[in-house]
Structure 1
Amino acid sequence: MTALPWDDFWNNDVVAIVTNSSSAESLLTSPESALSSSEQTQLLLYDIFIPLLGALIIGLNLAVVISSMLLLRKGLFVCVFVRVDGWNRWKQPYTTYLFLGNVAAADLLTGFAVIYGQYAPREIRGEDNCAILIVSTTLVSVYSVGLIAVDRYLYIMYGLQYQRYITPGRARLLIVGTWLLGLVVGFLPAFGWRGDTEGGRICWFIRLAPPPLVILTTVLGIIPVLVVIVLYSIILHKAIRRVAQLKKATREQQGASLA
């Protein structure tokens, strides 16, 4: 039986259409199949280690948050007790516990963000959630560390004047400021300034953020790091000078006693 011309057309084209449709369906149902082998390996390692890291972050920082709350309650009681006795100074660095608790709270949310990005249903995951949860909490944590450095610098360098510079009200305002900054930068990808994370499946900052946003976030993150380095270097320099002065005074006192 002689094959008609349209038989070849039917056989070849229909097979091609069915094949292409199956490939497209497989890509839609399995986005990971469009990734390279190295990216699939990275996703596999991500699926294994990131939940463990998130659980570790949550456990450690939850303990810090609880201990900070307990210390704050104790500090408030001591402050009231001292003032009733007529003393005009605080016995507990109340604001320091506020800053420590803020760092732990930000890191705690980072741990929850990691778990959320791993196990939340794909329908409610996306680039916006990824950016807000990861970028915001990370910036808040870094700036909170900078606030602790400023707090310790004023406490060590100025001593009795510390409470005049850092009050609980000002500490709360600074903490609110760190969260506002983190939320503003975290919401930038929600306004279209973002890359591609496979619909939130690959919640990696380097894929979420375009190069300009990566540079902006890096610069904002470096500022508190530089503040920490400078302030603690000043504290270390003064401590070394103080130790040298004490050693010199001790030697002079010993020489005078021998004479």
Structure 2
Amino acid sequence: MSQVSTHDKGPVRIITLTNPPRGYMNAANAAQLLVALQDALAAPEIRVIVFTGGLPGVFIRHYDVGEIKAVADALRAGAIQPGGDRAASPVYALIDLMLACEKPTIAAINGICMGGGCEFALCCDIRIAEAGDFTIGLPETRLGIIPGVGGLQLLARTVGLSRAREMVMRGRVVGPDEALRIGLVDEVVPSALDRALEIAAELAANPPHAVAAAKRMARQVAFGETLEQGLLTAATEFMGTLVDSDETPKLIDAFLEGGEDILAG
């Protein structure tokens, strides 16, 4: 039975994960999320992807600890070996595609978002949290493990290394308001999905080649690009936006002929 559903609102694809009764991520629904993401990326009419949770008060609670225990048991028994093909795991394949995709992604965090759920949200370009009494973060060290798909690395690139190290070492989680204060989320609002759709509509209205170029540049910064390298990247991407789409010269001409108001329309 599918735990992932999708529906479109114009050029925006909404992908919802529902795994009752607790709302865990597991290998099966990670594979379903991967397929849903691949389908959204392959659809030319879809310009923005929004992820949200389908259970009341839950975005993605965390990764299924029962599955983690099974992996631990298999490792201790020698049935499997550490490492292996990263792409063979639907979880890693999902995270890798989230980080590599060029369409903008938004996490509409409508409830508890910890562990693997927080790691997934950190892969999104924008995170909108719903106001409420729930927690966001990476508490894995409380179980004697660490965030396994890059949570510390992603968190450090979001809130800074010092704070990320402190939070992960302590297994400290935060509510929406503190998440906003430290930069873990971008906004806290009454309805995360409604606000995510508003932002998605703004993104979808912009030329997709320019949005994709901005996302590529941000990804290079996150991957450790130096300022010198970044200036070269910016020049290359800028030139590309001038010629990659027939829409650009039309927009520039309309700007010049219409009073030079870049916010018009």
Q: Same fold (TM over 0.5)?
A: no
Higher RCO (C-alpha under 8 Å, 6+ residues apart): 1
Quick check: which one's strand share is greater?
Answer: 2
Quick check: which one's helix share is greater?
Answer: 1
What range describes the TM-score normalised by the shorter chain of this pair?
under 0.3
Q: TM-score, normalised by structure 2?
A: 0.26
Q: TM-score, normalised by structure 1?
A: 0.26
